[in-house]
């Protein structure tokens, strides 16, 4: 069961979500709130596994509230305003539901949350080899579990509500969040060059200004990440005369 809560200032919206949740056997509703600030205590308990969060609310928007959480649970935004979708996905939302929400669309979002937890549990349960962590992880792609070895990955790319993992042989599309993928990838082997890109350090062929070449792909380096990227890549490895 996935323990979830609803935050929405509209009584009818909360009622609709409650009815949908009651019809899905792997969701368990533990609370509903008409104000985001009222949910702070329950969220800080660490027991909330999924948050259905409205965006346009009095006092503080759902987006701004979510940014204040130190250890936020996976979130599905629910709103009547589709223009906030991009910002929602930049916050690593599992999904973004536009009101009025059909049960079919809600079910797809709920299944995505279920797959997220199933994959995370599989990766957490993977046995370690001695004191070393496994050199691979699993993702859900094309309705099956796919084992991805770290040394096969060229880069990972965030695209709206899914992530594309590019390997030497093919690309895998998964509905994990970009943040979840980043957490699986060892920081010693991968580096984030942009809010939407993580690249394998060993696969970098050259750097030309703000562009990294890996295979046939050109990966951008954003200004916010450039100093960190260059320091990590060149420290102790840049030969000078």
Q: What CATH number did the domain enclosing 216 receive?
A: 2.40.50.1020
Within 13 A of 170's CA, how many CA atoms are on the CB side? 7
Is residue 185 predicted with pLDDT exceeding 70? Answer: yes
Q: Please report whether residue 115 resides in a domain.
A: yes
The mean of the pLDDT values for the chain is 90
pLDDT tens by residue, 62-76 = 999 999 998 899 999
Which three-class secondary structure state does DSSP give residue 65? helix
Concatenating the DSSP letter of every residue in 96-157 gives EEESSPPHHHHHHHHHHHHHHHHHHHHHHHSPPBTTBPPSEEEEEETTEEEEEEGGGEEEEE
> Which of residues 123, 146, 164 is at a domain's end?
123
Give the residue carrying structure tokens 């009095």: 58
Angstrom distance (rounded) from CA 46 to CA 43:
6
Per the structure, the count of domains in the chain is 2
Q: Please report whether residue 131 resides in a domain.
A: no
Same domain, 109 and 141: no
Q: Please report whether residue 17 resides in a domain.
A: yes
Is residue 240 predicted with pLDDT exceeding 60? Answer: no
Q: What is the pLDDT of residue 47?
A: 93
Q: 124 or 113, which is more confident?
A: 113
Same domain, 144 and 98: no
pLDDT tens by residue, 67-102 = 999 889 999 999 998 888 888 888 889 999 999 999
Q: Please report whether residue 129 resides in a domain.
A: no
Looking up residue 28, the CATH number of its domain turns out to be 3.40.50.2300
Is residue 106 predicted with pLDDT exceeding 60? Answer: yes
Angstrom distance (rounded) from CA 137 to CA 147:
6
Handedness of CA 198, 139, 48, 50 (dihedral sign): positive
pLDDT tens by residue, 191-223 = 999 999 999 999 999 999 899 999 889 999 998
> Which of residues 123, 153, 188 is at a domain's end?
123
Q: Please report whether residue 34 resides in a domain.
A: yes
Q: Return the structure tokens found at 162.
A: 């899914």
| Residues 6+ positions from 128 with CB-CB distance below 8 Å | 134
């Amino acid at each position: 069961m996935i323990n979830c809560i609803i935050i929405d200032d509209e009584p009818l919206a909360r009622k609709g979500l409650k009815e949908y949740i009651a019809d899905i056997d792997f969701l368990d509703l533990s609370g509903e709130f008409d104000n985001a600030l009222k949910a702070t205590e329950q969220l800080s308990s660490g027991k909330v596994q999924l948050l259905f969060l409205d965006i346009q609310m009095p006092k503080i928007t759902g987006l701004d509230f979510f940014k204040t959480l130190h250890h936020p649970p996976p979130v599905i935004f629910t709103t009547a305003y589709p223009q906030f979708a991009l910002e929602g996905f930049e916050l690593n939302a599992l999904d973004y539901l536009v009101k009025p929400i059909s049960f079919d669309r809600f079910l797809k979002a709920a299944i995505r949350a279920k797959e997220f937890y199933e994959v995370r549990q599989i990766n957490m349960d993977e046995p370690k080899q001695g004191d070393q962590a496994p050199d691979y992880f699993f993702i859900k792609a094309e309705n099956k579990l796919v084992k991805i070895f770290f040394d096969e990955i060229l880069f990972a790319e965030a695209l709206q509500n899914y992530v594309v993992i590019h390997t030497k042989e093919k690309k895998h599309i998964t509905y994990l969040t970009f943040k979840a993928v980043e957490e699986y990838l060892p920081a010693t082997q991968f580096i984030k060059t942009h809010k939407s890109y993580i690249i394998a350090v060993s696969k970098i062929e050259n750097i030309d200004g703000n562009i990294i070449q890996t295979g046939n792909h050109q990966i951008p380096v954003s200004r916010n990440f450039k100093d960190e990227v260059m320091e990590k890549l060149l420290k102790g490895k840049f030969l000078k005369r």
